[in-house]
């Protein structure tokens, strides 16, 4: 099997995604603005999850809230005081917080932040 045939077979096995939906630069997806634009998320959606690269301005207050989606947030850049339930921590680069579906959570960015958010199931409200 040639490399071209191997790549074609790999692409075909990813169906039902079209090739244009298989590989992307998530930052080229138009940003969804949240909280008056203080949060800008570039989101991609699969069948069972949503992935986002999210930029938050310094001193952004994310009000305590809950949703049915399980969420994981990984900090790439910045510092974020974050609360899940009754526990509060300062998130810094390399830290991950796992938020069960239905758990109250929120916080305040201490600096500008760049994070990765993953949700399951899909955040239909984050589709463009």
Residue 95 lies in a domain: yes
For residue 35, is it within any domain?
yes
The average pLDDT across 44-57 equals 96
Count structural domains, the chain: 1
Burial class (CB in 10 A: 0-12, 13-18, 19+), 83: middle
Give 87-113 pLDDT, tens digit per residue.
Answer: 999 999 999 999 999 999 999 999 999
pLDDT average, residue stretch 43-53: 96
The average pLDDT across 27-41 equals 94
Give yes or no for a contact between 95 and 58, defined as CB atoms under 8 angstroms apart.
no
- 67 located within any domain: yes
Mean pLDDT of 33-37: 95
Q: pLDDT higher for 52 or 19?
A: 52
Q: What is the pLDDT of residue 55?
A: 98
Task: Please report the pLDDT score of residue 4 as a whole number.
Answer: 52
> Is position 4 within any domain?
no
Question: At 121, which CATH number?
Answer: 2.60.120.10
Residue pLDDT, tens place only, 80-89 = 999 999 999 9
């Amino acid at each position: 099997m040639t490399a071209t045939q191997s790549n074609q077979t790999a692409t075909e096995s990813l169906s039902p995604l079209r090739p244009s939906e298989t590989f992307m630069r998530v930052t080229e997806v138009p940003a969804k603005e949240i909280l008056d634009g203080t949060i800008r998320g570039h989101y991609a959606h699969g069948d069972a999850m949503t992935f986002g690269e999210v930029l938050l301005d310094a001193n952004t207050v994310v009000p305590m809230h809950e949703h049915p989606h399980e969420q994981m947030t990984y900090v790439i850049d910045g510092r974020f005081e974050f609360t899940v339930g009754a526990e509060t921590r300062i998130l810094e680069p390399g830290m991950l917080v796992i938020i069960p579906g239905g758990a109250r959570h929120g916080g305040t960015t201490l600096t500008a932040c760049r994070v990765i958010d993953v949700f399951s199931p899909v955040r239909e409200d984050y589709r463009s």
